[in-house]
Amino acid sequence: MEMKNSSSILVNKQTITSIAIGGFDGMHAAHQKLFERLDEHGAIVSIESGYANLTPKRYRQEYSKYPIYYYVLDNIKHLEGDEFIRLINEEFPNLQKIVVGFDFCFGKDRKYDTQNLKELFHGDVEVIEEYKIGGIAVHSRYIRYYLAEGNIELANTLLGKEYKIYGGRIKGQGLGSKSFVPTINLRVNEFLLPKEGVYITKTILNEIEYDSVTFLGHRVTTDGSYAVETHIIDENVVERDYTTQIKFLKRIRDNQKFDSFEELKKQILKDIESAKKFFIYGR
């Protein structure tokens, strides 16, 4: 079923006949609505502001079959409207169609809008009206807000997929397997992390997806430092790969300070039990 994603490195820009333009951090449900309007020789033009933290640049291609071409905002933001269109036409000499959202702005001081785009581009311009789910407009900034609040389910609904982060494996305190349960400790640099607390997650390691629980936050019961730790449920996994992926499904509880290691351990075992129920009986 799944179509292989084309890499922009392998696709000749001459073959491109339609593009969608925007920032596209998140590659969320509304962005996908734009991509649906591309033809089979479509491409994504991603303008990099440097602030992407839902799908940082090098993780974005995973979420579309269309090749993504990146442009640095700082290099193009001084362009007047006609200069921007000239650049686009030079880059994609056979371009016939541009797809953007209702609020798309471009050029110097963001003073050009979709109306200007229609006037300046000699081809088809399709403007997508604001896409909402359950009355909530889908935008990266709202998804960031819901993640920061710990509202994973709503964030995932707006994303149209499970929020996923990538991290590199690091050494923990060495307490986990002795006093609690074994965990994989991660360093996460480029991704927005949801609110502190305990989450039901899936962990992808060595290309296999495991049921897991993940703790995000300051280890207030032990050394107080910030940690991202994931425990893989009912498996003894030998960690081969350095990179680990975590998909967030549901938030279980807040980060808590416990009076003893025994109490924390008891709670961790309860967390694992609720995660298991979730995986068996569904969401």
Ligand X SMILES: Cc1cc2nc3c(=O)[nH]c(=O)nc-3n(C[C@H](O)[C@H](O)[C@H](O)COP(=O)(O)O)c2cc1C
Q: Indicate whether 160 belongs to the interface with ligand ATP (CB under 6 A).
A: no
- Specify the stretch interacting with ligand X by CB under 6 A; choose among 94-102, 117-125, 152-160, 220-228: 220-228
Among residues 17, 31, 41, 216, which is the contact residue for ligand ATP, using CB under 6 A? 31
Q: Indicate whether 209 belongs to the interface with ligand ATP (CB under 6 A).
A: no
| Closest among 9, 19, 11 to 88, alpha carbons compared | 19
Size of the site for ligand X (CB under 6 A): 23
| Closest among 61, 58, 55, 25 to 43, alpha carbons compared | 61
- Residue 139 binding: pick among ligand X, ligand ATP, none (C-beta 5-8 Å cut-off by kind): ligand ATP
Could you tell me if residue 118 is left (phi over 0), alpha (psi between -120 and 50 degrees) or otherwise beta?
alpha
Q: Indicate whether 271 belongs to the interface with ligand X (CB under 6 A).
A: yes
Q: Quote the least distance from Cβ 31 to ligand ATP, whole Å.
A: 5
Q: How far apart are CA 37 and CA 145, in angstroms?
A: 28
Residue window 65-104: x/- pattern of binding to ligand ATP, with contact defined by CB under 6 A = -----------------------------------xxxxx
Among residues 52, 172, 186, 202, which is the contact residue for ligand X, using CB under 6 A? 172
DSSP assignments along 174-186, one per residue = S-HHHHS---EEE
DSSP assignments along 122-133, one per residue = SSEEEEEPPPEE
Q: Quote the least distance from Cβ 278 to ligand X, whole Å.
A: 13
Among residues 18, 61, 140, 185, which is the contact residue for ligand ATP, using CB under 6 A? 140
Q: Using an 8 Å Cβ cutoff, are 82 and 54 in contact?
A: no
Q: Quote the least distance from Cβ 13 to ligand ATP, whole Å.
A: 20
Among residues 38, 44, 128, 193, which is the contact residue for ligand ATP, using CB under 6 A? 128
Neighbours of 30 (CB within 10 A): 24
Letter for the amino acid at 15?
Answer: T
215-220: list long-range contacts, CB under 8 Å, 24+ apart: 215/183, 215/255, 216/255, 217/255, 218/255, 219/173, 220/255, 220/256, 220/257
Q: Quote the least distance from Cβ 261 to ligand X, whole Å.
A: 8
Could you tell me if residue 217 is left (phi over 0), alpha (psi between -120 and 50 degrees) or otherwise beta?
left
The residues that touch ligand X, with contacts defined as CB under 6 A, are 172-176, 180-181, 183, 185, 198, 213, 215, 219-222, 229, 231, 255-256, 264, 268, 271
